[in-house]
Structure 1
Amino acid sequence: MFVLPSGTYFPLISPELEQLRRIIDEARQLNDPRGRGLRISRYQVDLWEELAGLPTVQAQREAWWQNLAQLSDQAQLVHLDPPEALQAELRDYQRHGYSWLSFLYDHRLGGVLADDMGLGKTVQTLAMIQRARQQSPGPPFLIVAPTSVVSNWAAEAARFTPDLRVRTISATEARRGTGLSAAAQDADLVITSYALFRMEAEQYQQLSWAGLILDEAQMIKNHTSRGHRAARTLSAPFKLAVTGTPMENSLQELWALFSITCPGLLGGRDQFNRVYRTPIEKERDAARLTQLKRRLRPFLLRRRKEDVAAELPPKQEQVLELELDPGHRRIYDRRLQRERLKVLGLVDNMAANRFEIFRSLTLLRQLALDASLVEEESAPSAKLMALSSLLAEAVEEGHQVLVLSQFTRFLTKARKAASSAKIPSAYLDGSTTDRDAVISQFRSGEVPVFFVSLKAGGFGLNLVEADYVVLLDPWWNPAAEEQAIDRAHRIGQTRSVMVYRMVSKDTIESKVMALKESKQELFDRVLESTGAAESSQLSAADIRALLE
């Protein structure tokens, strides 16, 4: 009971005051303990909304807040007409994305565009930039992308927004011969790579930018990296992270992206870990997960292909379990025993021994593919034989096939096996210099099979000509695989896509497939559905399970 000087009293135990206590408590936990007073970030829309909804509190409902409230209920977001200069017909969900991006830009806010791969994140972003340029001139937008994707952004800009003046930065100042200011002069859009952005961070910091757009933003999910620091400190009124996989391993990666685009939304790293990460990943706290998703909702836009792209043909997946050749089995089992004893002796100190542990796991993964990748002794590879048979049948039936592997040495052997079977093909990995020419070979139909390393082909490619995808080796984190598969299963695909996952039976690959299913839950629960979540980093228990 609380008694006022006037003699009026009221109970302190009530639903309204309990809700107010909870809001204040959460805001306090997310505040830097070294700061003075209690503050709520302008990005914490949901906290403002709850505060304003309390009859015991008279929150200031200024114009900015009334506008911002649209973000909490995106169904109320005013849909804008695409800019007249845009050379593209936007689908309904793309128009919504364009309107959402424009709203953020107009109100000097940031966000994360996390649509599934293949849903047109690039064209939505370019539409927003085109609108901004038509409204008023100003400094250019800066797009930072993986090196392999820079040319794709330039090509898409020329295709969809030909009125924009685009400058591509593809070399350091020493090689290009001009300063960054001169290279970006009179531009509406400047496109560069993460590597160059990181190397010339100080020069980028000295220029004025209308906004910073980070494509494939998972590239800077490490908050200790120079790239992350450069993006966080760059002065720009609008920052956008574009990625189909905003979180691959842990909630800390999600925090890292939002610390760039929406500083203050999730508090500092220590506060975030204490309030959200530990309760959700370690304690499986469903209430905290629901709370986190509510906080992210205004500034995270994610649509799945099955929900918004009904016109896409179906994607079918089949796991091909292959028995090792007896000679291969003998070699594998012998090496497995050796590596198991070594790893089990190291796993109790994961932090100190992580490199050596993962070296052993990688060795066993390679050994499950082909004995000669690891041992001097060789044996027939069941995967190469199965692949040759599958490719021969697929090509004869008129299909175009994308073949993917994380290991370039095995990918090279797979291509040689195809050549021995008289099957023409193209090849792409990180060392390929004539990337565009190689891609054109496959897209034009000149060759029916395209061998691509996951690292080189995980993003930036549109390969809707392929209707068969073969994954030669599984790994526990499905994000890279899904990105690569979506090079074919994306907007523009008109045929059903068939995905084959080759798995060597009774090897580490079988255990990987089982582990991958459980690790997918973190991504799904935080970004898609409800419920608890668990850390997606490999634990000591996971390592032991792989070696059982």
Structure 2
Amino acid sequence: PASLVYNWKKELEKFAPELTVQIISGDPIVRQQMITEGSADVWITSYPLLRQDAKFYETTQFHAMILDESQAIKNDTTKTASAVRTIHSKHRFALSGTPIENSLQELWSIFRTIMPGFYTSKKKFMQMKPEKIARMTRPFILRRMKTEVLDELPDKIDTVQYSELTREQKEVYLAYLERIQNDIQETIATKGIQRGKIEILAGLTRLRQICCHPSLFLENYEGGSGKLDQLKELAHELKESGHRLLIFSQFSSMLTLLHKELSKDGIDGFYLDGSTKADKRMDMVDQFNQGEKDAFFISLKAGGTGLNLTGADTVILYDLWWNPAIEEQAAGRAHRIGQERVVQVIRMISEGTIEERIYQLQQKKRDLVDQIIQPGESMLTSLSEEEIQELFK
């Protein structure tokens, strides 16, 4: 991923200083020149740039290709997956904490790239029993749990903090819930689930935003948010006890609001979302790990992978993601090699709302990966009609 290219350069400088390293970046002409004339031991590029530069690599033969966060090629029909498959390399490695996020097709796509022809076709692969897939892939998967690799890695404690909607928030939530329930029934009846997915997800997103703070889409909302009030209280308690925080939200507007509100309350923090430049990210990460500021506000999608933030010992997931594997990645920013303290991961859930339903769904959906890659990661498959109806109850 683009956000990690500088991370990899730093790691190589630290662990393999004898190697020369080149980051492939800049405008297309500069990148082409680097690729065609470059002589470094290691080239680092991002998936988006590889997609644009695939033709420049056509005449280059590599000794090894290493795909970090290889779930980026989980869909074999995308341009990214196609570009990666054009690279000529003798050895190929795929690194991932979440090789299966939603379905077995993702594992097929990774194997198609690193071992072309191992599974004859996607159709035959999808007809195989999970036990057979597990048996075939096992010799080629090296799974390492943090606890196996690092005896001294401290514990990770997961807790759930429930909050109650404020009165005004509850009024907004119930009004929208009633409207959305009617819309969803009509959508499913007329379009079916697949064709009505956009409307269904839009409705679900609205309800989740109300749980975070209704002002995310209601301009004239003047009430409060039970969850925000609880976060302020929690952040102060943690700061007073000497803890430093990573605060994640998937809504950038919510993240901005959290940053602003907690700053007013004396919790000073760095801020990172999709618009933050890669080199600036690394500067902020270094400053934070050296002890600057109390908190780091991070967009779940932009900063959920790769960043090393062992300067924090508490991870707060302000809102839940459909896929618990993404949340695990976020928690892994602090619970990783170099961490010397026990890490606490706090999931914030508004009681009696869709957030509670999502959390229950997550707990039910953790079995597929367990069958394939021992021991289990986490995932969330596509929702059935029954599960969608359950969400809106």
Common fold by TM > 0.5: yes
CA apart distance, 1:350: 2.7
After superposition, where does 1:241-256 map in structure 2 within 5 Å? Answer: 241-256=94-109
Give the alignment partner of residue 346 of structure 2, picking from 477, 500, 524. 500
CA apart distance, 1:538: 2.2
Secondary structure of the equivalent of 2:238?
helix
After superposition, where does 1:59-98 map in structure 2 within 5 Å? Answer: none
CA distance in 1, matches of 2:188, 2:41: 52
Is 1:204 the counterpart of 2:51? The answer is no
CA apart distance, 1:380: 0.8
Structure 1 spans left out of the alignment, 5+ residues: 1-145, 277-287
Give the alignment partner of residue 309 of structure 1, picking from 150, 154, 162. 150
CA apart distance, 1:173: 2.6
Equivalent in the alignment of 2:126: 273
After superposition, where does 1:389-404 map in structure 2 within 5 Å? Answer: 389-404=233-248
**Per-residue displacement from partner, 1:30-75 (whole Å, max 9, x unpaired)?**
xxxxxxxxxxxxxxxxxxxxxxxxxxxxxxxxxxxxxxxxxxxxxx
Bigger shift: residues 400-409 or 302-311: 302-311
**Structure 1 pair 316/529, CA: closer, same or farther in 2 (3 Å)?**
closer
Is 1:419 the counterpart of 2:260? The answer is no
CA distance in 1, matches of 2:369, 2:179: 34
Bigger shift: residues 167-176 or 203-212: 167-176
**Structure 1 pair 535/162, CA: closer, same or farther in 2 (3 Å)?**
closer
CA distance in 1, matches of 2:337, 2:33: 39
Is 1:321 the counterpart of 2:166? The answer is no
Equivalent in the alignment of 1:547: 392
CA distance in 1, matches of 2:303, 2:181: 32
Amino acid at match of 1:360: G
CA apart distance, 1:178: 2.4
Is 1:238 the counterpart of 2:91? The answer is yes
CA apart distance, 1:181: 0.8
Give the alignment partner of residue 536 of structure 1, picking from 372, 377, 381. 381
What percent of counterpart residues are identical?
41
Corresponding pairs, count: 387
**Structure 1 pair 163/486, CA: closer, same or farther in 2 (3 Å)?**
same
Contact kept? 2:369, 2:379, Cα under 8 Å: no
After superposition, where does 1:114-193 map in structure 2 within 5 Å? Answer: 146-176=1-31, 178=33, 180-182=35-37, 184=38, 186-193=39-46
CA apart distance, 1:235: 2.1
Secondary structure of the equivalent of 1:250?
coil
**Per-residue displacement from partner, 1:508-529 (whole Å, max 9, x unpaired)?**
1000000001122222232125
Amino acid at match of 2:181: R
Amino acid at match of 1:207: T
Amino acid at match of 1:440: D
Give the alignment partner of residue 196 of structure 2, picking from 353, 371, 378. 353
Amino acid at match of 2:272: L
CA distance in 2, matches of 1:417, 1:352: 39
**Per-residue displacement from partner, 1:471-529 (whole Å, max 9, x unpaired)?**
10012311111001011011111111111111001111000000001122222232125
**Structure 1 pair 294/547, CA: closer, same or farther in 2 (3 Å)?**
same
Contact kept? 1:347, 1:543, Cα under 8 Å: no
**Per-residue displacement from partner, 1:439-490 (whole Å, max 9, x unpaired)?**
2332121201111111121112111111111110012311111001011011
CA distance in 1, matches of 2:379, 2:212: 30
CA distance in 2, matches of 1:535, 1:503: 18
Equivalent in the alignment of 2:254: 410
**TM-score, length basis structure 1:** 0.68
CA distance in 2, matches of 1:191, 1:179: 11
Is 1:485 the counterpart of 2:351? The answer is no
Give the alignment partner of residue 117 of structure 2, picking from 264, 273, 276. 264
CA apart distance, 1:427: 0.8
CA apart distance, 1:203: 1.2
CA apart distance, 1:263: 1.6
Larger radius of gyration: 1
Equivalent in the alignment of 1:379: 223
Secondary structure of the equivalent of 1:452?
strand
**Per-residue displacement from partner, 1:307-329 (whole Å, max 9, x unpaired)?**
44332111111111111011110
CA distance in 1, matches of 2:379, 2:241: 44
CA apart distance, 1:179: 5.5
Equivalent in the alignment of 1:344: 185
CA apart distance, 1:240: 1.1
Give the alignment partner of residue 466 of structure 1, picking from 312, 315, 328. 312
CA distance in 1, matches of 2:188, 2:110: 30
Secondary structure of the equivalent of 1:303?
coil
Amino acid at match of 2:107: L
Is 1:448 the counterpart of 2:303? The answer is no
**TM-score, length basis structure 2:** 0.94
Contact kept? 1:324, 1:505, Cα under 8 Å: yes
Contact kept? 1:426, 1:441, Cα under 8 Å: no
Equivalent in the alignment of 2:82: 229
Moved runs in structure 1, 4+ residues, more than 6 A?
A: none
Secondary structure of the equivalent of 1:302?
coil
Amino acid at match of 1:536: T
